[in-house]
Amino acid sequence: MKVLFINPAVSIASRIPSCPLGLLSVASYAKSKGHIVKIADLTVKKESIMKLIKSFDPDVVAITVISSKASKSVVNVSKIAKKYNKTVVWGGHEISLLPELGFKENCVDFIVIGEGEITFCELLDTIKNGGSYYDVDGLAFTDKDEVHINKFREFADLSTFPVSDWSLVEPKRYLQPFFNCKKMVYIYASKGCPAKCTFCYNAKYHHSKHRTRPPEHFINEIEYLIKNYGVDGIYFSDEFWCPNKEDRQRFFSLVKEKKLEFVWGCMTRIGAFNKEDLQQMYDSGCRWILFGIESGCKERIKLIKKGIDLDKAKETMENCKEIGITSQSSLVLGYPDETVEELKETVDFAFYLGANLCTLTILFLDPGSEIFEYAVANGLYRQPRSLKEWGDFDLPNDVTVNLTKVPDIDLLVIHYRMQWLEFWMKDSVKNDSFGIVKKMVGDMMKRMIKYGPINFFPAVYFSLKQFITVCWYANLYPKVLKKYGMYKRKYPDDPKTFKI
């Protein structure tokens, strides 16, 4: 069958887009099964959907729905496809957790729930050859105006999937500057995470299972990207990068064997790697690591089921600094019943930690997360009734719903103050951080211009508004800053001023 895969445009392009890896994986799998596929990424290239449908004449239009900010584009594209009598299929983690909202739009025939490669291809076979849609695991559809969700599809062995076919996209459109590299691109080496953090959708979507791809698969992708597009940096988008020592050693040996020259970074957990592991990672090209720490309060770490030892965090950051790896840490503000005292602990910990970069983000209620379900069940939050309402609600860096015992302004000031301090720290990383920011902004402006004045000016307005917002909250609330010990504090502080 002929399938047109579409990555919908977001409402405002506030950063350089990354390759839709999930969509690329499903398309590559479908191609390996003999289907004719085409990918149109509206986040990097403005295209007429009508012209695409007329020229390619697909049997199915498949759209990824992983961001509420793309909901308007998703609905518009789907309605156009339906005008041409095309079968419309949606997939992605967000719509998998809120399928009922999707069918309310009356422009989608099927929604793939969870991992999409096998389910989508079975659906194609059923559409072409006939059969019952009830027999396709992991599929949702409407029958007599009622939403029916088939049983959960067991996760696949990722070694049975083909290497992602990057010829289906235009890799050059996703290249961006990053630490120690000028042409970085995202790829993935695994799916899922074994943790059960209460603020994350992972436990419901991935069932807290972590599955790895064979190192040979993603090394082949890296080699292709280096040779054909001059890629010099790889960011592994995995929620938990390579905890298996055997896979890591195989990755290291393949990099050396193929003489591949690139730097890379990843996201991982505190306690996953010791100093020796970090050194081996550096020797193979690792130059940055993002650690999800999430709170500086030990009691909160237990409540959110994070499962890490805060006592090891400082040591890990020091090991990274000694070895030469740029360390990034993320902490979250706004947990249920969080108090002023607890927030002070997290703020103090952020300064004490000594990471090169440390973000203090405001909690967003992720559909499928334990905290999301807690808030809905206790009447603290009303679940959106439409995709539009969900998109309007998902505001970046805002307090969408306050479950704490502190005012909204406290969360906003702490969040933006840390952004402000990080931006002005010239030695926060070991290379030209200002140059990186400048290049990123320049590339983003060029991309926005390509979309024309209708999209360019709103994007510029949005960017200026964000900059003014940071300046406002970071500097004009001295009482709040003093309340949390941030008024005259520089980042990072003297480690001696704080003890766990």
CA atoms of 176 and 182, how far apart (whole Å): 6
For 323, the enclosing helix (H) or strand (E) is helix 311-323
Give pLDDT, residue 500. Answer: 43
What average pLDDT does the segment 218-246 reach?
A: 96
- Name the percent of the chain lying above pLDDT 70: 88
346 found inside a domain: yes
158 found inside a domain: no
User: What is the bridge-based pairing of β-strands 181-187 and 176-178?
Assistant: antiparallel
143 & 185 share domain: no
The count of structural domains within the chain is: 2
267 found inside a domain: yes
- Contact indicator for 141, 109 with CB cutoff of 8 Å: yes
On the question of pLDDT at 16 being above 80, the answer is: no
Give pLDDT, residue 272. Answer: 95
CA atoms of 418 and 369, how far apart (whole Å): 26
| Distance from the Cα of residue 446 to its chain's centroid | 23
123 & 267 share domain: no
- Contact indicator for 36, 1 with CB cutoff of 8 Å: yes
Q: Which long-range contacts (CB under 8 A, 24 or more apart) does 434-438 make?
A: 435/177, 436/177, 436/178, 436/179
User: Lowest-confidence range among 157-171, 250-264, 327-341, 376-390?
Assistant: 376-390
Return the higher-pLDDT residue of 461 and 437: 461
Give pLDDT, residue 400. Answer: 81
- Judged by DSSP in three states, 103 sits in helix
Q: Which of 171-180, 333-342, 444-453 has the highest mean pLDDT?
A: 333-342
CATH for 72: 3.40.50.280
Residue 122 contacts by C-beta under 8 Å, 6 or more apart in sequence?
Answer: 136, 137, 139
86 found inside a domain: yes
322 found inside a domain: yes
Give pLDDT, residue 384. Answer: 85
Q: Which amino acid makes up residue 424?
A: W
**Residue 342 burial class via C-beta count within 10 angstroms: exposed 0-12, middle 13-18, buried 19 and up:** buried
What average pLDDT does the segment 441-463 reach?
A: 63
Give pLDDT, residue 459. Answer: 64
Please, which pLDDT band fits residue 431 given cuts at 50, 70 and 90? very low
pLDDT single digits (tens) 327-354 = 999 999 999 999 999 999 999 999 999 8
Give pLDDT, residue 399. Answer: 79
Please, which pLDDT band fits residue 421 given cuts at 50, 70 and 90? confident
| Structure-block tokens of residue 458 | 């709103």
Name the β-bridge partners of 92: none
What average pLDDT does the segment 40-48 reach?
A: 92
On the question of pLDDT at 457 being above 90, the answer is: no
On the question of pLDDT at 458 being above 80, the answer is: no
Give pLDDT, residue 492. Answer: 56
User: What is the bridge-based pairing of β-strands 263-268 and 233-236?
Assistant: parallel
CA atoms of 269 and 267, how far apart (whole Å): 7
On the question of pLDDT at 158 being above 60, the answer is: yes
Region for residue 352 given its phi and psi (left: phi exceeds 0; alpha: psi -120 to 50; beta: otherwise): alpha
145 & 89 share domain: yes
What are the backbone dihedrals phi and psi of residue 210, each rounded to the nearest 5 degrees, phi first? -110, 125
* Structural domain for 424, as ranges: 172-497
CA atoms of 424 and 434, how far apart (whole Å): 9
Return the higher-pLDDT residue of 16 and 368: 368
On the question of pLDDT at 499 being above 50, the answer is: no
Count of CB atoms within 10 A of residue 18's CB? 16
CA atoms of 447 and 454, how far apart (whole Å): 13
CA atoms of 131 and 127, how far apart (whole Å): 8
On the question of pLDDT at 136 being above 60, the answer is: yes
What average pLDDT does the segment 27-44 reach?
A: 97
- Name the percent of the chain lying above pLDDT 90: 75
CATH for 442: 3.80.30.20
On the question of pLDDT at 253 being above 80, the answer is: yes
CA atoms of 293 and 360, how far apart (whole Å): 10
109 & 180 share domain: no
273 found inside a domain: yes
- Contact indicator for 19, 185 with CB cutoff of 8 Å: yes
Name the β-bridge partners of 212: 190
User: Lowest-confidence range among 408-412, 455-459, 467-471?
Assistant: 455-459
178 & 144 share domain: no
Last residue in a domain, options 114, 149, 184: 149
What average pLDDT does the segment 42-62 reach?
A: 95
Longest Cα–Cα distance in the chain: 70
What average pLDDT does the segment 48-53 reach?
A: 96
Residues in the chain: 500
Give pLDDT, residue 267. Answer: 97
- Judged by DSSP in three states, 422 sits in helix
CA atoms of 324 and 334, how far apart (whole Å): 33
What average pLDDT does the segment 166-176 reach?
A: 95
Closest CA to 28 of 176, 218, 207, 173: 218
167 found inside a domain: no
349 & 478 share domain: yes
pLDDT single digits (tens) 286-302 = 999 999 999 999 999 99
120 & 191 share domain: no
134 & 209 share domain: no
User: Lowest-confidence range among 1-15, 218-232, 381-395, 429-443?
Assistant: 429-443
CA atoms of 379 and 372, how far apart (whole Å): 11
On the question of pLDDT at 14 being above 60, the answer is: no
CA atoms of 394 and 177, how far apart (whole Å): 27
181 & 270 share domain: yes
Give pLDDT, residue 393. Answer: 67
CA atoms of 219 and 213, how far apart (whole Å): 10
On the question of pLDDT at 497 being above 50, the answer is: no
Give pLDDT, residue 448. Answer: 59
What average pLDDT does the segment 480-489 reach?
A: 91
Last residue in a domain, options 115, 149, 183: 149
Please, which pLDDT band fits residue 455 given cuts at 50, 70 and 90? low
On the question of pLDDT at 127 being above 50, the answer is: yes
328 & 422 share domain: yes
∠ Cα 452 454 455 (to 5°): 75
What average pLDDT does the segment 78-107 reach?
A: 96
163 found inside a domain: no
**Residue 149 burial class via C-beta count within 10 angstroms: exposed 0-12, middle 13-18, buried 19 and up:** middle
pLDDT single digits (tens) 270-289 = 999 999 999 999 999 999 99
What average pLDDT does the segment 169-187 reach?
A: 94
429 & 486 share domain: yes
Residue 473 contacts by C-beta under 8 Å, 6 or more apart in sequence?
Answer: 412, 413, 415, 416, 417
204 & 269 share domain: yes
DSSP string, 469-496: HHHHHHHS-HHHHHHTT-SS--SS--GG
